[in-house]
Chain A
Amino acid sequence: MHNNNPGPDEPGWMSGLAPLSRRGFLRTALLGAAALSTGCASLMRRGQVAPPRYQHLSEDDALVLQQLVRVLLPTAEHGLPSSYSDVPTLQNIDGMVGQMSDQTRELLGLGLWLFERRPMASFQFSRFSRLDEPQALRYVQAMQTGNFVERGLMSTLKTLVCVNYWRDARTWPALDYHGPVTELWGVRRLGNAPLPQA
């Protein structure tokens, strides 16, 4: 098939990742990261028993996300509801993951696994969840300014974590956000529009 969308110039190593692209919401980012990492998708946590706290996240997933919540959402320092004790950010993520298709959930698991183990010499090749907070913040910042795979993965995980804090109604009063209003305001339903006269 004729390719009518050559796109921007790109380094050869990147176009080599293109055939890996499949579907779902992490797509190339995750699969590209798989190719770059020292890990292997077959090592995913298939068959591991999820801790009772979470229905859909494994313990390893939760550890990575917990560290991300700590780094991305230092809300208590701003007098906002705590992102773990007041607002159940991880439980909210767990609920969202439960809504995802199996494929997307699998890709997310792969992304988290890779994020945890992305080898970086400047962090002594430590797992992300084992870094202290300042180091973890630098790790996140390094991913945000990394190659396109790292940027894509980081953007996705950041959005996942932040949306699942701020989607919670307990965070809204501090922002002066009104949330759903129709019932609060008692707005009347209009129903269907009248059938047009021929």
Chain B
Amino acid sequence: MTIQINQGLPVVQASDVRQAAPGGQLSLRADVVVVGSGAGGAVAAYELARQGLDVIVLEAGPYIPSTAFTEDFADSLETLYEEHGSQTNKDGDLLILQGRCVGGSTVVNGCVAFRTPDFILDEWRRDFGLNDMTPDVLTPYFERVEKHLSISTNGPHEIARHSQVIKAGAEKLGWSAKPFQRNVKQCALTGHCLSGCKTDRKQSMLVTYLPWAAAHGARIHSDTRVTRLLSKNARVTGIEGEVVDRHGEKVADIRVEAPRVVLAAGAVQTPVLLQRSELGNDQVGRNFACHPSFYVGARYPQPIHPWRGALLGMYVDQFMRPEDGGFVLEVGGLGVAEMCMISEPGTGQPYVEFMENARYNAGIVTLIHDHNVGEVRWRGDHKTIDYRLSKKDFPAMMLSLKAAIRLHLASGAEEVFLPTTERLAVRDAAEIDAAVGRIANQPHALRMVSYHPQGSCRMGADPANSAVDASGRLHGTEDVYVADASLLPTSLIVNPQVTVYALANYVADRMLENPRNRP
């Protein structure tokens, strides 16, 4: 019997385990263990549980109910994000933001919902033998998640001041600009998406697939760090891990016996877990991409109040296809704490003046179709994310930056601040080439952020260039599946959440096609 859960989630937390397993050992059984509760894990858990499988979802992060969200970004980084918001690449110059809480990154994302572009699917079929990755096969999956998550196009009231101003600039330049589609229901226009939606309007996994999976009997555990997959005679037998409370204190060891495991811990942790378990081929961890992004800020003559209204209103897709440049410009709002991090307007007086005029600022996020040049690796006692902006991608990054500056200026900006560690600014279109030309591709020269780590367990028909087969199953294994952004064979250029939902559903269906995996 399924019972609708109207508010919150039934989650077994470290505090519960402390009481229930005073001996420090928790042993469980299930048909399927799902590692991770974000976009991939939640969808897979629901799709499997509703078919009658006994599912356990294990989430490393804490369970923070939406009532406890603070709408304070600096505070939210500490409570809701991986490594308290300080996860970086090996060089320390690319911040890689991922959610680390029940619901994963879907709790803290900007709600932007794109289907996988057709030209990306073309690449996946052509280069990786993924013959099912056609619009025809995937459209039912896209339609299903779009319906489940109330995805719709921003209405006029969801185009905030920053987006209105920059939309007018795009029209002036004759560039194609469109309102975003977002997974939000009756958006309250608080502008606090990145700190979690306090009123459950963002249709994150926290208020959709996870309570639905729980309604079908799935058990959800937070504070549970899986350290290793267990296997015997080439078959997976379960997982082992630790339950750790919010102060970092280990509460118990946990062992779950299960004949199949779905990995959905995200594109950083999934390959790390496989490497720690010595499972998978040499492609596990390779081919990491992340959409390195700039947030290009600018000062306008009129107040913008970039924190007011829907966080993300519209985007420019004029240059989306590789032959047109291979980048997307997204107009994004931000709060005061974020503003401290994104620009270099000078030091001392100039900086204070910049912040004093924060209400006059607007920003554009750049996204590129980066090459899969990175690698995630477990080093025995820590992970490394080896990713540098490659020579191949630097030109696209600079093109996207030039376009963002042009767009700001066409929109009426007085001064555009380049996303560099050195103070660089442009006030006139004639200065763009010279200013951008000063930027060298060196560590700590650029201020970059990644919101979309992906590709580290690439899906493909050939084990020589992929870690996971066309059904999502780890090459060389029978019962280990991957269902998160690790799967993406190439970077998407657009926000990946809808692609991940659709692929997780697709992988769950492929699992269920196998009679051994049915209840």
Contact assessment for A195 and B347 in the assembled complex, using a CB-CB cutoff below 8 Å? no
The answer to whether B374 has its CB under 8 Å from any CB of chain A is yes
Instruction: Please tell me if the beta carbons of A192 and B359 are within 8 angstroms of each other in the complex.
Output: no
Known: A78-B352, A158-B347. A167 touches B201 (CB 8 A): no
**How many angstroms from the CA of A189 to the CA of B2 in the assembled complex?**
23
- CB within 8 Å for A178 and B91 given contacts A29-B444, A195-B4: no
Interface residues of B in 426-457 (CB under 8 A from A): 440-445, 447
Collect the chain B residues with CB atoms within 8 Å of residue A167's CB: 72, 74-75, 336-337
**Binary contact readout A169-198 vs B (1 if CB under 8 angstroms, 0 otherwise):** 001101111111110010111111111101
A24 is an interface residue with CB less than 8 A from chain B: yes
A145 CA to B229 CA, complexed, in Å: 47
**Contact A145 B86, beta carbon cutoff 8 Å:** no
Least CB separation from A193: chain B residue = B208
Tell me if B421 and A72 are in contact (CB < 8 A): no
Pick out which of these stretches binds chain B: A42-50, A54-62, A93-101. Answer: A93-101
Complex Cα spacing A160 to B441, Å: 25
**Which residues in chain B, 65-111, are within 8 Å of chain A measured between CB atoms?**
66-67, 70-72, 74-75, 78, 83-84, 86, 88, 90-93
Q: Which residue of A lies closest to B305 (CB)?
A: A176
- Asked whether A144 and B148 contact (CB < 8 A) given A167-B72, A178-B307, the answer is no
Residues in B whose Cβ lies below 8 Å from that of A198: 50
Partner of A4, one of B188, B307, B375: B375
Kindly provide the distance from the CB of B5 to the nearest chain A CB, expressed in whole angstroms. Answer: 6
CB proximity to B under 8 Å, residues A3-28: 3-8, 10, 14, 18, 21-28
Contact of B351 among A21, A72, A77 (CB under 8 A): A72
B2 nearest in chain A by CB position: A195
* B399 interfacial by beta-carbon distance below 8 Å: no
- Please provide the chain B residues from 383 to 415 with a CB less than 8 Å away from any CB of chain A in the complex: 383-384, 386-391, 394
Choose among B84, B91, B341 the residue with the greatest number of A CB atoms under 10 Å from its CB. B91
CA gap between A172 and B441 in the complex, in Å: 36
**Does A141 make an interface contact (CB < 8 A)?**
yes
Contact between B203 and A193 (Cβ–Cβ < 8 Å)?
yes
How near does chain B come to A126, taking the closest CB pair, in angstroms?
19
The answer to whether B83 touches A175, judged by C-beta atoms less than 8 angstroms apart, is no
- Across the interface, A179 reaches (CB within 8 A) one of B72, B201, B211, B359, namely B72
Contact A181 to B386, CB < 8 A, known contacts A25-B83, A74-B348 = no
A80 to B336, CA, bound (A): 15
Q: How far is the CA of A28 from the CA of B303 in the complex (A)?
A: 39
B232 within 8 Å of A by Cβ? no
Considering the chains assembled together, what is the distance between the CA atoms of A156 and B92 in angstroms?
A: 10
Given contacts A5-B387, A8-B442, A163-B340, A78 and B356 within 8 Å (CB-CB): yes
Instruction: Give the distance to chain A from B208, nearest Cβ to Cβ, in Å.
Output: 5
Assess the B5–A4 pair: CB atoms within 8 A. no
Please tell me if A162 contacts chain B, counting CB pairs below 8 Å: yes
Q: Please tell me the size bucket of the interface on B.
A: 35 or more
* Cα A140 to Cα B349 with chains together (Å): 13
Determine if B199 and A187 form an interchain contact, defined as CB atoms under 8 angstroms apart. Answer: yes
Residue from A71, A141, A155 within 8 A of B447 (CB atoms):
A155
A75 lies within 8 A of chain B by Cβ: yes
B199 touches A182 (CB 8 A): yes
Residue from B86, B201, B377, B442 within 8 A of A190 (CB atoms) = B201
Count of interface residues, chain A, beta-carbon cutoff 8 Å = 74
Q: Would you call A5 and B355 a contact (CB within 8 A)?
A: no
- Known interface pairs A75-B352, A100-B84; A176-B212 also in contact (CB < 8 Å): no
CB-CB under 8 A from A64, the residues of chain B are none
- Any B CB within 8 A of the CB of A152: yes
CB-CB under 8 A for A99 and B359, given A166-B340, A190-B201: no
Instruction: Give Cα A176 to B361, complex, Å.
Output: 12
Q: When chains A and B are docked, how far (Å) is the Cα of A29 from the Cα of B445?
A: 12
**Does A137 lie at the interface of the complex (its beta carbon under 8 Å from any beta carbon of B)?**
yes
Pair A80/B356 contact, Cβ less than 8 Å: yes
Q: Assess whether A28 is in contact with B351, with CB atoms less than 8 Å apart.
A: no
Quick check: A181 and B347 within 8 Å, CB to CB?
no
Question: Does the CB pair B192–A180 fall under 8 Å?
Answer: yes
In the complex, residue of chain B having the shortest beta-carbon distance to the beta carbon of A11 = B442
Q: State A169–B148 Cα separation when bound (angstroms).
A: 37
Decide if B358 is an interface residue (CB 8 Å cutoff). Answer: yes
Please measure, in the bound complex, the distance between the C-alpha atom of A193 and the C-alpha atom of B487, giving whole angstroms: 28
Residues of A within 8 A of B86 (CB): 24-25, 104
Q: Which residues of A contact B2 (CB under 8 A)?
A: 195
Contact call A192/B444, Cβ cutoff below 8 A: no
CB neighbours (8 Å) of A174 from chain B are 356
- On chain B, the residues within 8 Å of A182 by CB distance are 71, 188, 190, 192, 198-199
> Does B78 lie within 8 Å of A96, measured CB to CB?
yes
Query: Which residues on A sit within 8 Å (CB–CB) of B198?
Result: 182, 187, 189
Q: With contacts A29-B444, A80-B352 known, is A141 near B347, CB below 8 A?
A: yes
- Per a CB cutoff under 8 Å, which of B72, B349, B422 touches A180? B72
Q: A140-B348, A175-B355 are in contact. List 11 more A-B contacts (CB 8 A).
A: A1-B282, A5-B375, A27-B88, A28-B92, A144-B423, A148-B93, A152-B421, A176-B303, A187-B199, A192-B8, A195-B4
Give the interface of B toward A (CB within 8 A).
2, 4-8, 50, 66-67, 70-72, 74-75, 78, 83-84, 86, 88, 90-93, 147-150, 185-186, 188, 190, 192, 198-201, 203, 207-208, 211-212, 215, 248, 282, 286-287, 303, 305, 307-308, 335-337, 339-341, 344, 347-349, 351-353, 355-356, 358-359, 373-375, 377, 382-384, 386-391, 394, 421-423, 440-445, 447
11 CB < 8 A contacts A-B: A5-B388, A28-B91, A73-B352, A78-B353, A80-B352, A156-B92, A163-B340, A167-B337, A181-B192, A190-B186, A193-B203
